[in-house]
Amino acid sequence: MKIIVGLGNPGAKYAGTRHNVGFAVLDELAERHNIRIDTAKHKALIGKGIIDGEKVILAMPQTFMNLSGESVRAIMDFYKCTVEDLIVVYDDIDLDVGKLRIRQKGSAGGHNGMKNIIQHVGSQEFVRIRVGVGKKPDHMDLADYVLSRFGKEDLANIRESCGNACDAVETILADGTVAAMNKFN
The full DSSP string for 7-19 is ----SGGGTTBGG
Q: What does each C-alpha distance from 86 to 3, 60, 126, 135 come to in angstroms? A: 5, 13, 6, 27
Burial of 114 from C-beta contacts in 10 A (0-12 / 13-18 / 19+) = buried
Bridge partners for 91 per DSSP: 131
- Per cent of the chain over pLDDT 70 is 100
Q: Residue 151 is part of a domain; what is its CATH number? A: 3.40.50.1470
Average pLDDT across the chain, whole number:
96
Which pLDDT score, from 0 to 100, does residue 89 have?
98
User: Which residues are designated catalytic?
Assistant: 19
Domain limits for position 67: 2-184
Mean pLDDT of 117-136: 97
Q: How far apart are CA 81 and CA 28, in angstroms?
A: 24
Residue 94 neighbours by CB under 8 Å, 6+ apart: 109, 132, 135
Residue 73 neighbours by CB under 8 Å, 6+ apart: 120, 121
Query: Under DSSP, is residue 143 helix (H, G, I), strand (E, B) or coil?
Result: helix
Which pLDDT score, from 0 to 100, does residue 98 have?
87
User: Terminus-to-terminus CA distance in the chain, angstroms?
Assistant: 25
112: annotated binding-site residue?
yes
State which amino acid sits at residue 132: G
Query: Under DSSP, is residue 103 helix (H, G, I), strand (E, B) or coil?
Result: strand
164: annotated binding-site residue?
no
Comparing 1-5, 74-78, 152-156, the range with the smallest average pLDDT is 152-156
pLDDT tens, residue by residue, 14-48: 999 999 999 999 999 999 999 999 999 999 999 99
Mean pLDDT of 52-60: 96
Q: How many domains does the chain fold into? A: 1
More confident residue, 153 or 31: 31
Which pLDDT score, from 0 to 100, does residue 46 have?
98
State which amino acid sits at residue 154: D
Q: How far apart are CA 87 and CA 177, in angstroms?
A: 10
79: annotated binding-site residue?
no
14: annotated binding-site residue?
yes
pTM summary value? 0.96
Is residue 130 pLDDT above 90, yes or no?
A: yes
